[in-house]
Structure 1
Amino acid sequence: MGERPERSAGLFPLSGPLRFLLLSSFLIPLGSFMVLPFMSVFLHERLGMGLGTVGVVLAVASLVQFSGGVVGGALADRIGLRRTMLWALVVRTAGFVGLLLALRWPPLAVGALVLTCCGAALYLPANKAYLVHGVDEERRPAFLSAGNAALNAGMAVGPLIAGPFVLSSPGWLFAAVTALFLAVTAGHAGLPAAGERPPGTEVTRQGLLAGVAVLPFAANALAFYLYFHFQHFLAVYAVEQASSEFYSLVLLLCFTLVIVVQPLASGLIRRMPYALALTVGFAGLAAGLAVLAVGSRTALLAGGALITLGDIVLFLKNDLEALRRSPRSDAVVFGQQRLAAGLGACASGVLGGQLYGLGEGAGHTGWFWLLAAAQCLLLPPLLLLLRRHAERRMQVPSDEEGALKPHDTDGRVPGR
C-alpha cells in the first residue's frame, strides 16, 4: 500500500495504511459510543439492575479500560502492533456479540461490557504506536493529534446516532455495531506488519512499569484526576442548573474543540517547554473549574471550553514527554500512560464523589468546583519539585538541552 515518507513538514501526505488507521480511529469510538454512554440506562431500565450495582459495574469497566492499557502495551511489544490490534478487535467484537445475546440472557451483560473494555485497553496503545511508527520526531505531534481528533469525532457522533434507538431497538443497534467492528477487524488484517521482533530475537523480560517516565506518568495521573471531576460530575450539575439537552451541547462544544484545536496546536505544544505546558494546562483546568461554580448556562459553556483547552495541552504534551524520556518501546510507553490515566480517573470517581455528595448535602455544589480548581493550583508545583529531584538523581538533561530519546528511521531507540 506504499511507503510512507521519512520527512515532511506536517501530517500529509498520508500512506494508505495510515489513512485507514485514522478512519478506524473514528469508526471504533463511533461504534463504541453508540452503546457505552447509555450502558447505565440500559443496565438499569432494560435489564433491571439496581443503581448501586450499575455504579460498581461501570467503575470496574472504566478501570479495566484505562489501566489495562499497560498490558496492551506490553503485549504489543512482544507480538507486534498489528497482531495486538487484531486480537483487541476480536475481543471487543465478542463483547458486543455478548451484549446482543444479553437481551435474551441478561447476566451476560456484565461480562460482555468488561470484555469490550478489555478490547479497548489492548487496542489503544498499539494504535497510537502504529500511528507514529517510523515517523520522525517533528511529525509525531501531528499524527497523535490527528488520531485524537478522529477519536473525539467518533465519540461525539456516536451518541447522536444511537440515542433514539438504545432503549426502543437495542437489538438492531447492537447488531449494527457488531457488524461495524467485524468490518474494521477485517480491514486491520490487511495492514502491513509493524513493531514485530525479527525471528530469533531474544525477548528480554521486563516489568510492566520498567523504564517508566516518572514525571509524565505522575502528571498524566494528576491531569486525569482533575479532568474527571468535570467528566464524572458535570452531568449531574448541568442537568440541575440547566437541562440534559444543554449538557449535550456542552459536550459537543468540548469534542469540537479537541477535533479542531489540537491538530492546529500540535506543533506549538511540541515546542513548548514541559514546565510551561504543565503551567498552561493546569491553569486552564483551574480557570474552567472555577467558572463552572457560577452555575449559569454561559458559565457551563465557558468552563467546559477552558477545561478542554487545558486538557488538550496536558494530554498531548504528557504523551510526547513520556515518549521522549522513556527507553521502552512506544506501545509500552502509551500503555503506561493509560495506566496513569486509569489511576487518576478512578481516584477522581472515589474522592470526587464523596466531595460532591458533601456539597450536594449542604446545598452548595458550586464549592465542589472551587475546591477542584484549588487543587489544580496547589498540586502541580509538587510535580515540578519531583521533576527537579528526578533530574538531579538520574542526571536527565533539561528540555532546552535536547531530546532524550532519539529515533532512528524505524521510530525505535538505536541499540534497543
Structure 2
Amino acid sequence: MRAFWGALPTEGRWLLSTVAIQTLGRGLTLPFTLIYLHEVRGFDLGLSGTLMALIAVVGFLVTGPGGALTDRYGARAVLLTGTAAMIAGNVLLAFATTPALAAAALVLIGFNFGVSWPGFNALIASVVSGELRQQYFGINFALVNLGIGVGGVVGGLFADVGRPATFTTIFLADAASGLIPMALLLGPLRHVHGRAAAPADGSAAPATVGYLAILREPAVRWLTLLTFVGTFIGYGQHEAGFPGFARQAAEVSTRTIGLAFAVNTAIIVVLQFAVLSRISGRRRTRVMLVMAATWAVSWALLGLAGLAPGGLAAATGVIAFMGVFALGETLLQPTVPAMSNDLASDHTRGRYNALTAAAFQGGAIAGPVVAGFLLQHDLSAVYIGLMVLGCAAIAVVARVLERHVSPTVNGMPSEPAALGEGSPA
C-alpha cells in the first residue's frame, strides 16, 4: 500500500483519500429508501418499488449522453453537474410527501448515477495509467464498499420508522456528502478537467466517433457482453434475487441476510489489497476465468442452503455464499474498468466507460426482473441453475475476448508490439 500511495500523483491521492467518506452518505440511505417511501411516506409497496426503479432506468438512459459529454466537455464538468443533481435529489427526497415529488427526486439521483460512472472512470484514467490504474480501480472499489458498509450500519442504528425525522436526517446527510467531491473538483482538482483531446491530425475528432463505431471493435463488444452477464448474475441479484431466495427457499431470518451483507463488505475490504498483488502482471481474461469459477462455487453454496431450509445449515450457506461471492468481486472490479480504459484512446474514454456503465445498468435492471419471475413461480432450482450457467457463459466470453485484445490491454507488462485487432482505434 505504501508503494502504491507513493507512486500515485498528487491528483490521484486527492481522489482516493476521500472515497470512503463520500460513499458513507450513500450507505446511509441505500438500504432504507424503499422502507422510507413505503413505511414513512405511506406509498404502497408496488408504487415504492416502481419509484425505486427510476434510479436505474434514468441512469441507463443518460449514460450514453453522459459519456459523449465527458469526451466533449471534460469529466470534471460532467461530475460537477451530476453531483449537483444528486444533492438536489436527496434534499428533495428528504421532504417528498407525494409520489410526484419523490419521482422527481429519484430522477435527479438516477441522472447522477448515469453520468457519474463514465465521468469518474474517465477522470481516474486521465490521472493514472498502466498497472497503477488497475490497482487504483481495485482499491477504490474496496473503499466504496467500506463507506457504504459503514454508512449502512450507522443508518440502521439511527433510522427509525417511528421517527420520520430520522429519515429526513439521513437523506440530508447523503446530500451533504456530495459537497466533498464538489470541493475537490472546485479546489485542488480544478485543473484536472479530463477533457477530450483529439489527435493533432484531426483523424478522429470527438464529434465523429459514435457508439456504433466503437461497438464495431470486437474487443468492445465482447467486454460489453461480459459486463452485462457478470452484472446480471452478480450485482443484479444483490437486492432482489439473493434476499428473495434466502427468505423463500433457504428460509433464513432478515438478521442472517444482514450479516451476510456485512461479511461480503468485510471480505472485500480485507482481501482487495492482497488480490491486487496476486493478479498484478497476469492476463485479465484469466483473472475473469477464476472469478467465474469462484462465483459458480458461491451459487452452488446458496443452492445447497435451499436444500436444508430454516436451520443452521441454511444460515451457514447463505453467509458462505456472500463471502465467496465477495472474493469474486475483488477479481472483477480491478479488471473490467482497467481493460475498458486501456482499450480507449484519450478522446473517446468517456464513451468507452459509458458502454461499460450501460452494460452494468442493463444487467442490474434485468437481474431482479428474472429473479422475481423465477422465485415467484417457485423455480428456485432453475434460478440457481441459471446463475451457474451464467458463470459458465462468463468463462466462454472471457476466452473469446482474450483473442481480441493485445497483451498490454490484457494486463501484461508493457512491451513494444505491433498494433493488433484489440488495439485502440
What TM-score do you get using the length of structure 1 for normalisation? 0.83
Aligned-pair CA distance for 1:179: 2.8
| Runs of 5+ unmatched residues, structure 1 | 1-7, 408-413
Offset of residue 93 of structure 1: 0.6
Deviation at 1:366, TM superposition (A): 5.1
Structure 2: give runs of 5+ residues left out of the alignment.
306-313, 417-422
Q: How does 1:75-94 map to 2 (within 5 A)?
A: 75-94=69-88
1:152 CA displacement:
0.9
Structure 2 equivalent of residue 44 of structure 1: 38
Alignment correspondent of 1:193 = 192
Q: Give, in whole Å, the separation in 2 of the partners of 1:34 and 1:119.
A: 17
* 2:225 counterpart of 1:218: yes
2:343 pairs with one of 315, 325, 329: 325
Deviation at 1:306, TM superposition (A): 1.6
Q: Paired residue for 2:23, among 29, 35, 50?
A: 29
Note closer, same or farther for the CA distance 1:130–1:244 as it changes in structure 2 (3 Å cut). Answer: same
Q: Deviations over 1:239-265 (max 9, x none)?
A: 453221221111111112222222332
Q: How far, CA to CA, are the matches of 2:282 and 2:13 in structure 1? A: 28
| Post-superposition offset of 1:406 | 9.4
Shift of the 226–126 alpha-carbon distance from structure 1 to 2, 3 Å rule, reads same
Q: What's the counterpart of residue 150 of structure 2? A: 157
Task: Name the structure 1 match of 2:365.
Answer: 346
Alignment-derived partner of residue 175 in structure 1: 172
2:108 to 112, 115, 125: 115
| Cα separation, 2, equivalents of 1:339 and 1:246 | 32
Using the TM superposition, give the Cα deviation of residue 305 of structure 1 relative to its aligned residue in structure 2, in angstroms.
Answer: 1.6
Superposition pairs for residues 394-405 of structure 1, below 5 Å?
397=406
Query: 2:287 maps to which residue?
Result: 277
The alignment yields a C-alpha RMSD, in angstroms, of: 3.2
Q: Aligned partners of 2:63, 2:274: CA distance in 1, in Å?
A: 27
State the match for 2:390 in structure 1. 375
Q: Percent identity?
A: 23
In the TM superposition, residue 81 of structure 1 has moved relative to its aligned partner by 1.9
Q: Cα offset for 1:115?
A: 0.8
Does structure 1 retain, via aligned residues, the 8 Å contact 2:131–2:411?
no
Structure 1 residues 373 and 326: CA distance shift in structure 2, 3 A: same
Deviation of 1:369 after TM superposition, in Å, equals 2.1
Give CA-to-partner distance per residue, 1:258-303, whole Å, 9 cap, x none.
Answer: 2222233224334332442232111111110110112212211221
User: SS state of the match for residue 262, structure 1?
Assistant: helix
> Does residue 90 of structure 2 align to residue 96 of structure 1?
yes
Deviation at 1:172, TM superposition (A): 2.4
245-254 vs 179-188, which deviates more?
179-188
Aligned partners of 2:11 and 2:127 also within 8 Å: no
Cα gap change, 1:329/1:259 in structure 2, threshold over 3 Å: closer, same or farther?
A: farther
The answer as to whether partners of 1:359 and 1:368 remain within 8 angstroms in 2 is no
SS at match of 1:193: coil
Looking at structure 1, the residues matched to 184 and 212 of structure 2 have their Cα atoms a distance apart, in angstroms, of 32
TM-score by structure 2 length? 0.82
For residues 303-342 of structure 1, the C-alpha deviation after alignment (integer angstroms, 9 at most, x for no partner) is 1122221232233322222223344633332221111111
Q: SS of 1:152's equivalent?
A: helix
Alpha-carbon distance in 1 for matches of 2:279, 2:127: 21
Instruction: Describe the shift of the 1:366–1:69 C-alpha distance in structure 2 as closer, same or farther (beyond 3 A).
Output: same
Measured after TM superposition, the shift of residue 178 of structure 1 is 2.5
Q: Aligned partners of 2:87 and 2:409: how far apart in 1?
A: 45
User: In 1, are the aligned partners of 2:8 and 2:128 still within 8 Å (CA)?
Assistant: no
Mapped to 1, the partners of 2:208 and 2:358 lie a distance apart of 19
Question: Structure 1 residues 368 and 109 mapped into 2: Cα distance closer, same or farther (>3 Å)?
Answer: same
